[in-house]
Amino acid sequence: MKTSSVGRSDLVGQQLADRLAKASKHIMTPSEKRAQRISFIHGQTGVDKDRISEILDGE
């Protein structure tokens, strides 16, 4: 039995909307903000996360 891709797409879209609504209410802790900042810098530059932490700690 084949499922409709439209029905699945609607389900996935609703699940995404539910998760985004939940995430939008989350207040990040300072440690979560720091981890996100490190991850962003690492992704943009490729610099080692430990090195990024050293640099941030020196600010």
* Residue (of 58, 53, 54) closest to 34 by Cα position: 53
Distance CA 18, CA 8 (A): 15
pLDDT tens track for 17-53: 999 999 999 999 999 999 999 999 999 999 999 999 9
Under the banding of pLDDT at 50, 70 and 90, the label for residue 8 is confident
Under the banding of pLDDT at 50, 70 and 90, the label for residue 2 is low
Domain tally for the chain?
1
What average pLDDT does the structure give for the chain? 90
* Residue (of 43, 44, 41) closest to 52 by Cα position: 41
Question: Domain limits at 11?
Answer: 5-57
Residue 4: how many CB atoms within 10 A of its CB? Answer: 8
Distance CA 21, CA 50 (A): 33
